[in-house]
Structure 1
Amino acid sequence: MGAVCGKGSGEGNEAAISTRVEGITGGGGGGGKKALPKLPTNAIKSVPEDHQFIEESLARILLFSKLDSGLQRKIVAEMYERNVQAGEILINEGDTGLAATELYIVKSGIFEVLQRRQGQNVRVNLKQRGDCFGEISLMYDCARNATVAATVESVVWVMDRAVFRYFVREQQENQVSQVELFLNSVPILGSLSRDERMRLVDAIEEVVYQQGQKVITEGDNGDLFYIIKEGEALVFQGQGQRKVNHLFKADFFGERALLNDEPRIATVEASTKLVCLTLKRDTFTEILGPLEQLMKREKSPQVVAQKLAKLQPRGSNQRPAAEVLIKRKKKGKNGVESWEVVRAKGHLDEVQELRKGGSMAVDPEAKDANTLVLTEGTVLGGGAFSRVSIVNEDSTGRVYALKRMRKSAVVQCPEHVYCEQAITKNVAHPFCIRQYASFQDKYHLYFLFDLMSGGDLMDVLVAEAKVINRRVPESSWQVACLAPNVKMLQGMSEELAKFYIASVLLALEYLHNNNIVYRDLKPENVFIDVNGHVKLGDFGFAKILDSGNRTYTFCGTPGYVAPENVLAHGYNFSVDWWGLGVVMYVLLTGRQPFSTPKTDDPMVVMRRIVDENYVVKYPPYISPAAKDLISRLLERKPARRIGMLSGRATDVKKHKWFEGFNWAEMEARRNIAPRKPRESDINKRIKELMETERRTAGKTPKETPEELAECEAVFSDF
């Protein structure tokens, strides 16, 4: 349960690709326009004479190749030169942070690429003029996977992540604003809310017509609505095809095709090269429902049960403080255990709420009845700078999970911590982990959560997955019984997966109804209680989106991220439905959908995610209904993705894979979980975690006074 720190991921028995990631530039709708990041002092920009060569070198880069030529030129113009002396290390294997935020193109010289293998640095490649390296740094802060050093005096062009994402976001926001402005001017769409119009933005498709080409013909039936983005068109009508109108940029035509299937009343012909934004009636209906019904509906104020977006995410400094005492066992130098008490600062309202109804005596360590006392027990999980342990609340005897994070490890991205604090404090849903209190001491931040002692979905998958033999015909004419026997990995049963997917679906439905996008769906973030029921947890990347807005920050786990996230096109709740499709595939197969052929390179995986020619392969044991649902969740166009259509989550619930499923019983949590964690497995897992903590004990970083002062300032209102 790490909100900000990385955590392992699995593909059944395969190696994991699971780096937690976050782009440098922030995302989210409604924020002020960010300034163009400044280049280093004395940086020498690339000269125009080199721009074409740089663009040609970058053509092989996934993110760059997807941009239009104008945007490419803007980015290249902000690249700058860096001299690298012979023997100088440009990239050091394992570097993160600021040392892993740049892409390089060799202008001159030679670089050797070294990787650490069995304790030795081995040369694996050479980079010369025009070669690029460091592409993944444009997306997120991932540790460098090799050392790159100059063998002769060399020069590179440098592209900074913050600059790259600034221009990409600027273009996407401008395009979205332009399309929204176009849609606002169409009277027939006047009954739509801003949120509904913004949902159409992703469904708009661009079509180019050459001069003299007919766009629509009078008398033909049509189902497309057009808005002119660039160019001009002429409108003709009647037997003699008399010119009746001249259309320019932002003009629209064919809007009645969104209402019904009727003959066109005029012919429209491109008088110049014409670029149109088009919207299909079927697509419109899938996303919002019939336009005629939308036009007739009565506008009425909608009462939202919990408007989380209006809740104040911070402001805790205005709340009365209270003391929290954390009692934990400490082993001395002679091996004798003793109790130590850590004093932390919490919030009085939360402490009083937790102690309400408590009948136990006040702990002698506590000053008064308004002090919270927690006794720490066994470890449930953790990472390099965080841990989750079982704690017992003194006054009531209730058991919780206590998540502890090192302040110095998260001080560079406090917004994630504050988002997690605000969101988990105010969610109240059977399938979402709830936070009951937050507090801090000199070195750590703490969250008090629901206790989920049964592990996570990846633990279930590892326990349930197995290797099976299956006869797979090599061609359609081969008889099945004569087909070769192939060994393959199989995940959990579809009935078991259905229980888990349904639980996560209900959690996503609740979050989306409260304007929250989760952004990091994967099996490791779905936790299991002692009875086998699940809750969605780890809200470190969750974000509240105002209606109709988008966020642009790249975050998630390679292999699970949606195409619109990879390409920095701006996204909303669509990424969660994509994530659900990936999780469903993983649970059923024990591997990720974009992992074939097998690779350890996350950029290869993300290229497959955005490549429309890459086809996800399904094992023969997956049912047609399951395959269909996964395929519709892994639709690369977010506007056409199930979950983003007019029925939203209801469309997923009604899919044939869930035929006969009792949703009412599921929502009420009255059904018995099909798989209950075995006590032996829980004990084994806890023992392994305790052993890991024992090995890593004493490796806690020592902060300087300046670092502690920075942490205190950043988290003063936590």
Structure 2
Amino acid sequence: PPRVCSVPSLLSLPKDAIMKMCDLMEEARYTQGDYIIRQGATGDTFYVINKGQVKSGATRTGDEEQILSKLSERQWFGEKALWGEDVRAANVIAVSDVACLLIDRDDILGGMVFDSSLETPEVKDPASLASSTLSDFQIISTLGAGDFGHTDLVQFKSNVKDLFAMRVLDKKAIIHNGLREHVARERNILMDAACPFLVRTVLFACRCLYMLTEACLHGDLYSLLKDKYVLFESSTKFYTACVTQALTFLHARNVVYRDVKPENIVLDERGYAKLVGSKCLKKIEVGKKTYTFCGTPGYMAPEVIFNKGHSVAADFWSLGVFVFELLTGGIPFNDVDPMRLLSETVRGIDNIDFPKAISKIASSLIKMLCRHNPSERLGSRRNGAKDIQKHKWFEGFNWDGLSKRMLSPPLSPKVSILFFFFFFGRGGICMDNASPPNMISCPL
């Protein structure tokens, strides 16, 4: 506490606020030569040196790095980040082994990773649609069809500027396949999910079993990946950040998604990525687990395959597989035989040879997301998704700009209605309180 109390920009804070701030501080360790801060990166973290020495230096265009100062124990840096967005003016590098106490701006302000003030729907207010009927809409074209119905692109007859995707579901097929509860769960969760990184359901009518959603007509990441084979690391980082924000929103509401994969991520008119609705969505009581065998083989976490019970940590495993696929064009656990695919998954990520196309920092992120023990996965610890944000792979990434939709997406998508995301791609599995025959005893 005395070290923090000495920081000039914190002197105006009440003593109890500073004490609470000290309680929230965490220790991070760095080895000699590590970049703690990089010049030009957006910063939101304040550091107090607990052990060791650092040097700060700035690089000017065409010049070598100029050392500005050296800092030792009981000194601090990065305090400007506590009061607003701070673009780092210099590098800070560990001169020796260093231990720092650090705290993020969000922790001081009492905020969450996902800013609730941004949770405003980008589609028409559902309340104004409550009395709508099928006769109020005009069908423009059919977007796709599948085993449980079809999806049409529609517009209001009274306002042709408002476009929606209308999923018309076959009641008999839904009931016959035991999906009644899954459809109801998806409706209940997404009707209230006013998150800019989720495709929102704005109207659901049981009498006709149709579901009105945003019309994201700019492609899904699976189609994009097939077209480009692999994505640049910067593009992968942007789309992964979008998915992380969507998962953060759901997990804060104790909802597990359970089917993160490129097919379930679509691009809106600006090129931002959004998670679509899924029959695998489920709300879990705090501290409880679910035993549904659910997800897509190759993306499922080991605890799902073993039917040991799982929670939101299963989504972080899938997120690691997702990052691997965007960077390489394939998933780490891959076999045409379903049993061998599941066996390969439960053997774990450490038995996978990573292609050279994946950088060491990206490999680190993937392996930390795909830890075999769910409680050890990045995102599953006390700080939640903040630990993902702080990983070196995201160093310099502007998370605030992403939440405020101020970043320029890697691609400016063109409208395409030759696909639709609700029915195509690698199919997911959802079996309540059960596991497929012989899958639990798959050979290791």
TM-score by length of 1: 0.40
Paired with 2:263 and 2:349, the residues of 1 have a C-alpha distance of 29
- The structure-2 alpha-carbon separation of the partners of 1:583 and 1:418, relative to structure 1 and needing over 3 Å to count, comes to same
- The structure-2 alpha-carbon separation of the partners of 1:370 and 1:522, relative to structure 1 and needing over 3 Å to count, comes to closer
* Amino acid paired to 1:414: R
Could you say what secondary structure the match of 1:540 adopts? coil
- The structure-2 alpha-carbon separation of the partners of 1:352 and 1:519, relative to structure 1 and needing over 3 Å to count, comes to closer
> Structure 2 unaligned runs (5+)?
1-100, 102-109, 117-124, 425-444
Paired with 1:305 and 1:499, the residues of 2 have a C-alpha distance of 18
Is 1:388–1:402's contact at 8 Å kept on the other side of the alignment?
yes
- The structure-2 alpha-carbon separation of the partners of 1:419 and 1:620, relative to structure 1 and needing over 3 Å to count, comes to same
Shift of 1:352: 5.8
Partner of 1:659: 395
Which residue of 447, 451, 454 maps to 2:218? 454
CA distances 1:433-453 after superposition (whole Å, capped 9, x unpaired): 111111245xx6211001100
Stretches of 4+ aligned residues off by more than 4 angstroms: 369-372
Partner of 1:387: 150
The 5 Å alignment of 1:176-325 reads none
The 5 Å alignment of 1:494-533 reads 494-533=233-272
1:429 and 2:195 aligned: yes
Partner of 2:330: 591
1:399 and 2:195 aligned: no
- The structure-2 alpha-carbon separation of the partners of 1:351 and 1:614, relative to structure 1 and needing over 3 Å to count, comes to closer
Paired with 1:421 and 1:659, the residues of 2 have a C-alpha distance of 37
Paired with 1:449 and 1:558, the residues of 2 have a C-alpha distance of 27
* Amino acid paired to 2:223: D
Paired with 2:392 and 2:127, the residues of 1 have a C-alpha distance of 48
Is 2:328–2:357's contact at 8 Å kept on the other side of the alignment?
no
Paired with 1:372 and 1:353, the residues of 2 have a C-alpha distance of 16
Shift of 1:372: 5.9
Paired with 1:530 and 1:503, the residues of 2 have a C-alpha distance of 15
Is 1:424–1:539's contact at 8 Å kept on the other side of the alignment?
no
1:600 and 2:336 aligned: yes
CA distances 1:114-141 after superposition (whole Å, capped 9, x unpaired): xxxxxxxxxxxxxxxxxxxxxxxxxxxx
Partner of 1:571: 310
1:353 and 2:89 aligned: no
Paired with 2:290 and 2:325, the residues of 1 have a C-alpha distance of 26
* Amino acid paired to 2:186: E
Paired with 1:522 and 1:355, the residues of 2 have a C-alpha distance of 32
CA distances 1:670-718 after superposition (whole Å, capped 9, x unpaired): 1121112234xx25x25x99xx9xxxxxxxxxxxxxxxxxxxxxxxxxx
Is 2:115–2:403's contact at 8 Å kept on the other side of the alignment?
no
Shift of 1:522: 0.8
Could you say what secondary structure the match of 2:164 adopts? strand
Paired with 1:352 and 1:622, the residues of 2 have a C-alpha distance of 47
* Amino acid paired to 2:140: G
Paired with 2:347 and 2:357, the residues of 1 have a C-alpha distance of 26
* Amino acid paired to 2:411: R
Could you say what secondary structure the match of 1:460 adopts? helix
The 5 Å alignment of 1:50-89 reads none
- The structure-2 alpha-carbon separation of the partners of 1:384 and 1:621, relative to structure 1 and needing over 3 Å to count, comes to same
Partner of 2:354: 618
Shift of 1:387: 1.9
Could you say what secondary structure the match of 1:673 adopts? coil
Paired with 1:370 and 1:447, the residues of 2 have a C-alpha distance of 11
Shift of 1:540: 1.4
Which residue of 283, 286, 290 maps to 1:547? 286
Is 1:438–1:447's contact at 8 Å kept on the other side of the alignment?
yes
1:627 and 2:363 aligned: yes
Partner of 2:321: 582
Partner of 2:298: 559
Is 1:456–1:526's contact at 8 Å kept on the other side of the alignment?
yes
Is 1:526–1:534's contact at 8 Å kept on the other side of the alignment?
yes
* Amino acid paired to 2:330: R
CA distances 1:228-271 after superposition (whole Å, capped 9, x unpaired): xxxxxxxxxxxxxxxxxxxxxxxxxxxxxxxxxxxxxxxxxxxx
Paired with 1:379 and 1:560, the residues of 2 have a C-alpha distance of 30
> How large is the RMSD of aligned CA atoms in angstroms?
2.8
Is 2:350–2:367's contact at 8 Å kept on the other side of the alignment?
no
Is 1:561–1:575's contact at 8 Å kept on the other side of the alignment?
yes
Shift of 1:609: 1.2
Is 2:222–2:262's contact at 8 Å kept on the other side of the alignment?
yes
> Structure 1 unaligned runs (5+)?
1-289, 291-299, 307-349, 357-368, 466-490, 693-718
- The structure-2 alpha-carbon separation of the partners of 1:351 and 1:669, relative to structure 1 and needing over 3 Å to count, comes to closer
Shift of 1:539: 2.5
Paired with 1:635 and 1:439, the residues of 2 have a C-alpha distance of 41
Is 1:372–1:393's contact at 8 Å kept on the other side of the alignment?
no
Which residue of 638, 644, 653 maps to 2:374? 638
Paired with 1:382 and 1:608, the residues of 2 have a C-alpha distance of 33
- The structure-2 alpha-carbon separation of the partners of 1:613 and 1:352, relative to structure 1 and needing over 3 Å to count, comes to closer
Partner of 2:431: none
CA distances 1:403-425 after superposition (whole Å, capped 9, x unpaired): 12211221022110110110010
- The structure-2 alpha-carbon separation of the partners of 1:352 and 1:618, relative to structure 1 and needing over 3 Å to count, comes to closer
Paired with 2:217 and 2:308, the residues of 1 have a C-alpha distance of 38
Shift of 1:396: 3.1
Partner of 1:710: none
Which residue of 185, 188, 211 maps to 1:419? 185
The alignment covers a number of residue pairs equal to: 301
Shift of 1:545: 1.0
Is 2:349–2:371's contact at 8 Å kept on the other side of the alignment?
no
Shift of 1:586: 0.6
